[in-house]
Amino acid sequence: MNYSASELMTVNAARLLRDGDTVFVGVGLPNLACNLARRTHAPNLLMIYEAGVVGARPSRLPLSIGDPTLVSGSMLVCSMYDIFTLYLQRGNVDVGFLGGAQIDRFGNINATVIGSYQHPKVRLPGSGGSMEIAAWANRCYIITPHQKRRFPEKVDFTTSAGFLSGRSQRLATSVRGNGPQAVVTDLGILQPDENGELVLTALHPGVTIEQVQANTGWGLKVAPDLRTTEPPSEEELRILRQELDPTGIYL
């Protein structure tokens, strides 16, 4: 079965979601992953969008975080202040999806600048909702292609917190969220160990440990119980290709 890197990441991210989860969704692959999970093993997934939409049932692929298709047929629409307080920080969000230009050894994310903040080499869009989502969603997942420049030892700027420089550091802050639980890439899956350091816990079919290590900017450790992921199924690919992204905008 042939599948693209985006399809592989989306399918694996979808499988991390649990039935009944309340998810803070982003556009692009996270949106596809959530809708795929809802059509397969998690029919009771509740999707929340930072624009203030709760219980969205998009009938077409949303192309922006505030797409009108998110509103029509949704359960509830509220202000941005409400979505970040009553929903996120009050403890009503199980899962947050995050992305960024850099993810480091301890799962900290940079979506702000490459280089120095005052004189950036590359200016990136910035936090948006991610600073609070990373802190206050119970579990966070990250979907990103696996390239060395995206996985430095230390991010240039911590836009949103992973485990800082070790799990105990995060625990010492007053944030409730448990931090990043998995980074899904096109090579495999990284998950934090007891110290909060990202280690390789799964390889996608046909990928080698050396390949992943060569594409990671620190000495990536391998979990003792390293597994190989199940390839995307025919049904998962059919839903993605025929129902969710028929014109291949994200896949």
Could you tell me the two tokens for 31?
A: 């949106």
Q: Which of the 8 DSSP states describes residue 237?
A: H
Is position 65 an interface residue for other proteins (rule: CB under 8 A)?
A: yes
Is position 135 an interface residue for other proteins (rule: CB under 8 A)?
A: yes
DSSP H helices, 40-76, are 68-71
Residue whose CB is less far from other proteins, 67 or 236 = 67
Q: Which of the 8 DSSP states describes residue 123?
A: E
The region of 155-163, 210-218, 225-233, 239-247 touching other proteins under the rule CB under 8 A is 155-163
Those residues whose C-beta lies under 8 Å from the C-beta of residue 78, and which sit 6 or more positions away, are 52, 54, 86, 87
Is position 230 an interface residue for other proteins (rule: CB under 8 A)?
A: no
Is position 123 an interface residue for other proteins (rule: CB under 8 A)?
A: yes
Which one among 20, 43, 66, 145 touches other proteins, defined by CB under 8 A?
A: 66
The catalytically annotated residue of 7, 50, 197, 236 is 50
Could you tell me the two tokens for 90?
A: 């009050």
Our answer to whether residue 50 is catalytic in this structure is: yes
Distance, in Å, from the CA atom of 132 to the CA atom of 175, rounded to the nearest integer, reads 9
Where are the extended beta strands (E) located within 111-179? Answer: 113-115, 120-123, 139-143
Cβ of 202: how many Cβ atoms within 10 Å? 21
The region of 47-55, 191-199, 226-234, 238-246 touching other proteins under the rule CB under 8 A is 47-55
Residue whose CB is less far from other proteins, 113 or 189 = 113
Q: Under the rule (CB under 8 A), what is the footprint of other proteins?
A: 27-28, 50-53, 63-68, 70-73, 77-81, 84, 89, 108, 112, 117-132, 134-136, 157-161, 164, 170, 173-175
